[in-house]
Structure 1
Amino acid sequence: MANAFMEIAFTPNVRALQARMGSRDAYARGDEDVVKEPVLGPYEIPFIEARDSFYLGTVSETGWPYVQHRGGPTGFLKVLDSRTIGFADFSGNRQYVSTGNLAGDNRVSLFLMDYPRQTRLKILGRARVVDEDSESELMARLDNPHYRARVERGIVIRIEGFDWNCPKYITPRYTEEEVAQRIRDAVEAHAGTVSQGSPGSDEPLGSGELALAVTGVRQLTLRVRAYELRAEGAGLLPPAEAGSHLEVPVRLADGSVVTRQYSLAADPASCDAYEIAVLRESEGRGGSLAIHETWQIGTRLRVSRPINHFPLHADSRPAVLIAGGIGITAIKAMAEALRRRNSRFELHYTGRTPADMAYHRQLARELPASYFTYSSRVPGEERLDVSKVLPGPCADAVFYVCGPAALIEAVRSEARRLGIAPERVQSESFT
């Protein structure tokens, strides 16, 4: 069925431009179908109710668009039914531009933003103004009794269409409370580390031949942290090939020392520093949690030389790189190696949301023509379909996939179906 939002927004001029720019075919599949009724569902309703602001567009009598910010307590934008939303209009600077525009043209456009998760929902509808005298019960539903702001009127919007927008180029921003909570969590974690103590912390952890120290820590996502490791004494490190990993020592909460394997994510040509990215898994075996809670700048380690069970081919054949979640670490190093030697390649990266994808913005900036992303938890966004990724490249391309076992099996299964030789499909599971 056709999307009601697109039926409204895709005017003849828009469709003509899409045709010239090559995107019309992607949107044209549902043109002949009956327009789908824009009914809010399990993704849209909680998203709307979680907003504390949105942008409202109206149309003036002169035809000029006017966009205004509307804000209030979380949930001030109410879902009245599956096709109707509304909000209490608080007293502002008393220009009344948006309200005045509605007196002549009831069409509105809303942009609802979730900056931390890089998600936005756009809504088209027809609005009407309500007041206490004429519709007191409806005004009571729109009211926010614990919010100290004077309500002048209510705005009720009948939805004509909605669409989830592309997350690209949304810069994550955080509220004061979100920042404060992150600081509190970090302080508590650090206090817990100090109070528990770290047996033998004056000595390097591990017994490998390379003496390393943590010289940098970066928070890549809410759960992924990158650690820069350099040789003690500012010496050079043994070169590592793309696909290599380090076995690092980790002291668990019970005091025992174990090893964990992490792919090298930095440019393998560099001998100045290694970099690993660690996904914090609260329900895992404890290694990643211990690294997040105990490693800090100055932490000393002794590790073995890098090991490579996932090598990149050395000839000139093109490559298709496929990463799922934290599997991007090994794939990122491969992309940098291929770019440095001017080899053709594509990088396909799938994650829950863009905000969950480590190195996302760096890769988008550095690989604008060969980097493709997919989101499994963003409604309306494209999901990775390996049947579309594998047939496209040249007949001699080599495929590399790193991520969950289900992703690896999907790639291998599709390769078998297409008759791609098994040796042209290399994989590494981050589990």
Structure 2
Amino acid sequence: MGHRFAEIVFTESVLAEQQRHGSREAYQGFLGGEDFNGRLSAAEAGFIQARDSFYMASVSETGWPYVQHRGGAAGFVRVLDKQTLGFADYSGNRQYVSLGNFRRDNRVALFFMDYVNRTRLKLLGRIRLVDPQDLKTLAALEQADFRAPVERSYLIDVEGFDWNCPKYITPRFTEQEWQALAVPEVAAPVADQPVPVSDNVLGDGPLGLKISGVSQLTPEVRSYQLQSVNGEPLPTFSPGAHLQVPVPTPQGIRMGHYSLCGAPGNHEYQIAVQAKADSKLAAALQRHYQLGTRLQITEPQNHFALHEDNRPALLIAGGIGITPLKSMALALLQRGAEFQLHYAAKSSEQMAFYPELQSLLGERLITYFSHDGERLNPAELLTDLADDCQIYACGPEELLASIRRATRNASIDDRLQLENFS
């Protein structure tokens, strides 16, 4: 057993086409190992419950798929547990095509879209009507402040899901979101007078950016998509690079250094910031950085660079230390190089980018959840390494110290590069 979504949709015909077009090897890891992508984590639950609509396909008796749009107030789809969704179905055109299809075949495919942040989640499940006498479940699916008439309510048992990449998703915005993104006009300066700067612009560097997307990855980690203010492609960056960004604090503007965690070559930047009780700067950033916030900064810098050839790599991440290593993993994946990413966190719910990395990396991703008693042992990772394998690690100091000891004991510390949180 393995990736539940892949097990369902990767039929023999699909696998044959993947083989024909050269992508089968990239997905091979999905079809073996322990089950995953069949139970919703906090990342999927938060994403689903932030949506105000989704698309749903049912299976008709004629064999044709039938797709309908379902909508309501944001949060009308409820995640009841790790394998169950529910929603109230509001009165529509009364054709009852989907309802009729469900009576014969309970399989459904759902598509949840976040156009602003260019993110989509595919989900497969089996749907069932809520018994009208099950008042507890009906009450859990109601939205007291949404006045559309409810005809019935549904539960969906999750079979599998998969995150899609943002490629070719055209950003679409509500009027409120668009106003937040709008660049304020600045009057031409009078000679010898300073240019007025909006309260929504931070920094004085030459590179103008605006925040075009914000996503809550875990209860503590928030990611930010950054685009050019003028719409032009942003300067390229290499894996391991970081941005230096201005953060307002009570003591004035302070500079924070945050790794770029997107794929090199993208025309936008992505950073992820973890706000913990002992991290005042990150907490201040999360308070002040909103959709539409403008930054004037310097171009990306890199003091933690990935090798540029096809030598294999061992990537080790602890907690938010995943940010530079995610970019490295995506670069190595694009090159077709051999690598593994070992990623440790307290739980899957507190692991940033967990669904995306599962989907993209398959068996190349090895995870360790301390809440389940799992521990990353650096010494074990160094056995049977290729002679030219390069090692990169980022995480808390305790993890990095254990990696230093292990590589020193194995006499391969010359192949190690580290980046710590400070």
**TM-score for both structures, normalised by structure 2:** 0.54
Q: Distance in 2 between matches of 1:406 and 1:362?
A: 22
| Counterpart secondary structure, 2:33 | helix
Q: Distance in 1 between matches of 2:324 and 2:319?
A: 11
Once the two structures are superposed, what CA deviation does each residue of 1:187-220 show, in whole Å capped at 9, x if it has no partner?
9x953999xxx9xxxxxxxxxxxxxx72113357
C-alpha displacement of 1:363: 8.7
1:128 paired residue number: 129
Quickly say closer, same or farther: Cα 1:86–1:218, change in 2 above 3 A: same
2:145 paired residue number: 146
2:64 paired residue number: 64
Asked if 2 retains the 8 angstrom alpha-carbon contact of 1:113 and 1:120, the reply is yes
Give the partner amino acid of 1:88: A
Quickly say closer, same or farther: Cα 1:401–1:193, change in 2 above 3 A: same
Asked if 2 retains the 8 angstrom alpha-carbon contact of 1:263 and 1:329, the reply is no
Is 1:399 aligned to residue 391 of structure 2? yes
Once the two structures are superposed, what CA deviation does each residue of 1:232-262 show, in whole Å capped at 9, x if it has no partner?
xxxxxxxxx999999999997547x99x796
> What are the equivalent positions in structure 2 for 1:84-95 lying under 5 Å apart?
85-95=85-95
Asked if 2 retains the 8 angstrom alpha-carbon contact of 1:400 and 1:427, the reply is yes
Quickly say closer, same or farther: Cα 1:394–1:60, change in 2 above 3 A: same
1:312 paired residue number: none
- Percent same amino acid at aligned positions? 27
Is 1:377 aligned to residue 361 of structure 2? no
Quickly say closer, same or farther: Cα 1:362–1:26, change in 2 above 3 A: closer
1:106 paired residue number: 106
Quickly say closer, same or farther: Cα 1:164–1:412, change in 2 above 3 A: farther
Q: Distance in 2 between matches of 1:351 and 1:193?
A: 33
Which one of the candidate residues 207, 216, 223 is aligned to 2:207?
216
- Bigger drift between 344-353 and 58-67 goes to 344-353
Asked if 2 retains the 8 angstrom alpha-carbon contact of 1:119 and 1:378, the reply is no
Q: Distance in 2 between matches of 1:178 and 1:64?
A: 38
Q: Distance in 1 between matches of 2:69 and 2:311?
A: 45
| Counterpart secondary structure, 1:63 | coil
2:165 paired residue number: 168
Asked if 1 retains the 8 angstrom alpha-carbon contact of 2:52 and 2:71, the reply is yes
Quickly say closer, same or farther: Cα 1:91–1:365, change in 2 above 3 A: farther
C-alpha displacement of 1:422: 2.0
2:263 paired residue number: none
Quickly say closer, same or farther: Cα 1:118–1:178, change in 2 above 3 A: farther
Asked if 2 retains the 8 angstrom alpha-carbon contact of 1:142 and 1:154, the reply is no
> What are the equivalent positions in structure 2 for 1:153-302 lying under 5 Å apart?
153-159=151-157, 161-169=158-166, 176=174, 179=177, 190-191=198-199, 214-219=205-210, 222=214, 254=251, 284=279, 297=296
Once the two structures are superposed, what CA deviation does each residue of 1:7-38 show, in whole Å capped at 9, x if it has no partner?
9726873797599634556533359xxxx9x7
Alpha-carbon RMSD = 6.1
Quickly say closer, same or farther: Cα 1:96–1:102, change in 2 above 3 A: same
User: Which protein shows a greater Rg?
Assistant: 1
Q: Distance in 2 between matches of 1:141 and 1:430?
A: 42
2:188 paired residue number: none
C-alpha displacement of 1:112: 3.8
Asked if 1 retains the 8 angstrom alpha-carbon contact of 2:130 and 2:153, the reply is yes
Quickly say closer, same or farther: Cα 1:394–1:76, change in 2 above 3 A: same
Asked if 2 retains the 8 angstrom alpha-carbon contact of 1:217 and 1:226, the reply is no
Asked if 2 retains the 8 angstrom alpha-carbon contact of 1:225 and 1:279, the reply is no
- Bigger drift between 105-114 and 138-147 goes to 138-147
Give the partner amino acid of 2:74: T
C-alpha displacement of 1:76: 1.6
C-alpha displacement of 1:74: 2.0
Q: How many residues align?
A: 342
Q: Distance in 1 between matches of 2:256 and 2:145?
A: 52
Unpaired segments ≥5 residues, structure 1: 199-212, 229-240, 266-274, 302-325
C-alpha displacement of 1:397: 3.7
1:368 paired residue number: 334
Unpaired segments ≥5 residues, structure 2: 186-196, 215-222, 229-237, 261-268, 359-364, 369-375
Q: Distance in 1 between matches of 2:225 and 2:7?
A: 43
